Amino acid sequence: MNPNILAWARDQAGFTPEEAARRARIGSTKTTSPEKRLLDWEAGKGQPTRTQLQGLARAYRRPLALFFMKKPPKRDERVADFRSGPEHRSGVYSNELAALIRQAQARQDEVRQLLLSEDPTPDSLPFIGRFDTSVSVEALVADLRATLGISSPEQKRTRDASELFRLLRQRAEESGIFVLLEGDLGSHHSSIEPTEFRGLALADEYAPFVIVNSNDSRGARVFTLVHELAHLWLGQSGVGNEIPYGDFSSLGTLEHLCNQVAAELLLPKDDFLEEWASAGLDSAEEMVRRTASRYSVSTTLAANRAWNLGRIDDQTWRDLFQLFGEEWRRSLERRKKKERESEGGPSFYVLQRQRLGNALISLVLGAVASGDLTHTRAMRILRVKPDSFAKLGEVGA
């Protein structure tokens, strides 16, 4: 074990010695406290047992092999941090979020290598980085629609937000984008709340990835997916958290633009105004709920669109925002409670396919079948054991 790596890993995790010792469940001795034992190991005075080292690896969200390296790995390549809220300092992530980003980047690297090994001179995806932030909202939305092959009437034919998400995800994957639903590191104990992370875009001309937080509401996932797709069209990797409803112009230029694009694609201005005028309902709340249902989007997005387009006043917007925000929080709590109490539900393979997406699974399993990819590399990408590959391939999305 390398004591310098041990100290480096704790520093990267942002833990005090006391917190690290507690999380790793290091016990005390008659003469030495847990944190003092850890500091001694970091100074090269003695070594932890393998069990204790495994505890530290779990606490730091790092592989055990890291502690035996000669020197620390290169600093993580950080994606741009677009998260809002005073509790989030730019580029400072929880251990869980930092690990999720590392895993996503490693998975993307593996997929990129696989694609290039199958075709050493592939055509790059033309839409990645096609525009910069000077592009108009209308032009970017039109290009998104053309590339994805999706129209507003087709969106309106979806039954609900879940079906709209599946449609958008399918079209994105058919265009060469890998869309994953991930909200933890493999168990609910490492769950990441939407307030810390809602979406992640990893731009790449051959293997672009979008990660949407599976812990979020279904309506919010739809908005996040389109927002992150806009990031790819702008060639900008980044991680974001809360959808900052209200005046989008209060954000930086990039986030402002991506939010406007998502709002316009999901609730087109002309369609929205026509829908609003023809509804004939007296209550603004009823109007918003009807519009949200018609377009399979969240009520909060529909209310925000109505406010931005001058169909409701400031006070009505504030009242609706508070009402729908409370409904969103209650729905998340109900879902969490249901998950905790549920003994049945979808199988492991169904959940993994929902999480990983058809595009990633089909690519990897196809490469394994053709002999172009080893089981070991496939396991690194899919994070399921080889004996599960067959069942994973049999399950429909």
Q: What pLDDT, on a 0 to 100 scale, did the predictor assign at position 397?
A: 47
Is the pLDDT assigned to residue 323 strictly greater than 50? yes
Greater model confidence, 351 or 201:
201
Is the pLDDT assigned to residue 335 strictly greater than 80? no
Separation of alpha carbons 361 and 394, rounded Å: 11
Report, in angstroms and rounded to the nearest whole number, the Rg of the chain calculated over CA atoms. 23
Beta bridge partners of 181: 212
Tell me the average pLDDT across 142-171. Answer: 97
pLDDT band at 63 (very low <50, low <70, confident <90, very high): confident
Q: What pLDDT, on a 0 to 100 scale, did the predictor assign at position 337?
A: 75
CB neighbour list of residue 45: distance below 8 Å, 6 or more residues apart: none
Q: What pLDDT, on a 0 to 100 scale, did the predictor assign at position 245?
A: 61
From 302, 293, 242, select the one nearest 269 (Cα to Cα). Answer: 302
Percent of the chain, pLDDT > 90? 60
Is the pLDDT assigned to residue 73 strictly greater than 80? no
Contact between residue 231 and residue 129 where contact means Cβ atoms under 8 Å apart: no
Classify burial at 250, counting beta carbons within 10 Å of its beta carbon; exposed 0-12, middle 13-18, buried 19 or more.
exposed
CB neighbour list of residue 167: distance below 8 Å, 6 or more residues apart: 150, 154, 155, 158
Percent of the chain, pLDDT > 70? 91
**Can you list the domains of the chain with their CATH numbers?**
3-75 (1.10.260.40), 81-266 (no CATH), 270-334 (no CATH), 348-394 (no CATH)
Average pLDDT, the chain: 88
Tell me the average pLDDT across 287-293. Answer: 93
Classify burial at 199, counting beta carbons within 10 Å of its beta carbon; exposed 0-12, middle 13-18, buried 19 or more.
buried
The token pair that represents 13 in the structure block: 């995790």
Using the structure block, give the residue that is written with the tokens 């502690």.
67
Tell me the average pLDDT across 267-285. Answer: 89
Contact between residue 210 and residue 172 where contact means Cβ atoms under 8 Å apart: yes
The DSSP letter of residue 195 is: T
pLDDT band at 98 (very low <50, low <70, confident <90, very high): confident
CB neighbour list of residue 31: distance below 8 Å, 6 or more residues apart: none
Residues 223-274: pLDDT tens digits?
A: 999 999 999 999 999 998 866 565 555 557 899 899 999 999 999 999 999 9
pLDDT band at 186 (very low <50, low <70, confident <90, very high): confident
Q: What pLDDT, on a 0 to 100 scale, did the predictor assign at position 199?
A: 96
Global pTM value: 0.82
Separation of alpha carbons 35 and 19, rounded Å: 8
Other C-beta atoms lying within 10 Å of the C-beta of residue 70: 7
Greater model confidence, 189 or 56:
56
Q: What pLDDT, on a 0 to 100 scale, did the predictor assign at position 364?
A: 95
Classify burial at 20, counting beta carbons within 10 Å of its beta carbon; exposed 0-12, middle 13-18, buried 19 or more.
buried
Contact between residue 56 and residue 20 where contact means Cβ atoms under 8 Å apart: yes
Q: How far apart are the first and last CA of the chain?
A: 43
The token pair that represents 236 in the structure block: 């900008």
Contact between residue 209 and residue 177 where contact means Cβ atoms under 8 Å apart: yes
Tell me the average pLDDT across 211-233. Answer: 95
Is the pLDDT assigned to residue 91 strictly greater than 70? no
Contact between residue 291 and residue 279 where contact means Cβ atoms under 8 Å apart: yes
Is the pLDDT assigned to residue 290 strictly greater than 90? yes
Q: What pLDDT, on a 0 to 100 scale, did the predictor assign at position 130?
A: 97
Beta bridge partners of 179: 210
Separation of alpha carbons 163 and 296, rounded Å: 8
Contact between residue 299 and residue 327 where contact means Cβ atoms under 8 Å apart: yes
Separation of alpha carbons 376 and 286, rounded Å: 54
Is the pLDDT assigned to residue 64 strictly greater than 70? yes
Q: What pLDDT, on a 0 to 100 scale, did the predictor assign at position 70?
A: 84
Residues 9-36: pLDDT tens digits?
A: 888 777 889 989 999 999 999 899 999 9
